[in-house]
Amino acid sequence: MSIFSWIILAAICIVIVTSIIGFIRGGKFRFQVEMRESRFSAEIFYTLLILYSVVIIGFGLIYFILSFHNIMLVEHGELRQVSVLGSIIHTFYFSGVTLLTIGYGDITPIGIGRFIALIEALIGYVLPTAFVLKLVQHTARSRGNE
């Protein structure tokens, strides 16, 4: 792999990790939504949606870059040559299915892609727990201010 590919992969990984850490630590976006008598926090929900999108796009880009270096996704058990647009669609689809722990099995990774998919699935499994914990903290903080 070229040095340029490694730099891009490192940058994507840094964005993903800092986004997750920012969410867990309570990083806030510029918008603020007030919901006093509700247990639902729109701010936390929107933050989680943005975080999921960042992770799906980030891992999709990782799979896409690795596809140029013979670490590919296999569809229905056979390697297929697809266009660049088709490859992007496949990698984002696989990333979303993996992160959301759906795992249809129609596309499978080869080589180190398996380990990367495992990490992504673990993130997808842990994020809802972090969301619930943030919601509990938000609710406790709201009750403490009343």
DSSP letter string, 54-66: HHHHHHHHHHHHH
**Stretches in the chain below the pLDDT threshold 70:** 1, 24, 26-41, 71, 145-146
pLDDT of residue 96: 92
- Tokens representing 121 are 């699935």
Contact 88, 128 (CB under 8 A): no
pLDDT of residue 30: 42
pLDDT of residue 146: 58
How many Å apart are CA 134 and CA 136, to the nearest integer?
5
Ordered by start, the domain boundaries in the chain are 3-24+40-145
Entry pTM: 0.75
For residue range 109-124, list pLDDT tens digits in order: 888 888 999 999 999 9
How many Å apart are CA 100 and CA 127, to the nearest integer?
10
pLDDT of residue 84: 82
Long-range contacts of 137-142 (CB under 8 A, 24+ apart): 137/26, 138/41, 138/44, 139/39, 139/41, 142/36
Amino acid at the residue 126: V
CATH number assigned to the domain with residue range 3-24+40-145, chosen from the 4 options 1.50.10, 1.25.40, 3.40.1350, 1.10.287: 1.10.287
In terms of Cα–Cα distance, which of 50, 45, 48, 52 is closest to 96? 52
